[in-house]
Structure formats: structure tokens, C-alpha cells
Amino acid sequence: MKVIVSEKGQVTIPKILRTKLGIRTGSVLDFEAERGRLVGHKVTQRDVFEEVYGTLEMEESVDAFIERIRGR
């Protein structure tokens, strides 16, 4: 697919490619030059809170912990 580079160096990624690659508004792309070609990779955003959610192990329930530290 061919696109035209604008005066500001911008291009529009064709909708069929955006859909196929899951590129949406706000997606981050990383570009690099590779053997005379422009190669773009979609950067997957890491949610550090999502990665550690549920990993904390407690010896008591959360309700018991809150009651113990706050009192009744």
C-alpha cells in the first residue's frame, strides 16, 4: 500500500493495516531504519499494577487486617 508523506513528515496508516495490527488512537509505535527500509513496531504498554495484582499473599483476610490496624 502506498501513502504520501505530508509536509510535516506525517503519513496515514491505512485502516486495513491499523485494524489488522490493532493500532488504535493513542497507540505508540517505534520506528527504526533497517537495510534502507522504515520499520515500525507497535509498542505494547505495560501496566505494572496489572502485573503485580494478586501477588501479595497475606496471612489474614484484608478485612481482618484493616480491623487490626484501625481497630473497630
pLDDT digits (tens, 9 = 90+) for 1-49: 899 999 999 999 999 999 999 999 989 999 999 999 999 999 887 777 7
d(CA 44, CA 59): 35
In a domain, 39, yes or no: yes
Beta-bridge partner residues of 29: 42
**With a threshold of 0.85, does the pTM exceed it?**
no
35: left (phi over 0), alpha (psi -120 to 50) or beta: left
Question: Is the per-residue pLDDT at 70 higher than 90?
Answer: yes
Which pLDDT score is estimated for 51?
Answer: 73
CA distances from 14 to 2, 21, 23, 65 (A): 9, 11, 10, 53
In a domain, 3, yes or no: no
Which pLDDT score is estimated for 57?
Answer: 81
Q: How many domains does the chain have?
A: 1
In a domain, 32, yes or no: yes
Domain that holds residue 51: 15-70
- Structure-block grid coordinates of residue 7: 509536509
In a domain, 42, yes or no: yes
Query: What is the average per-residue pLDDT within 62-70?
Result: 90
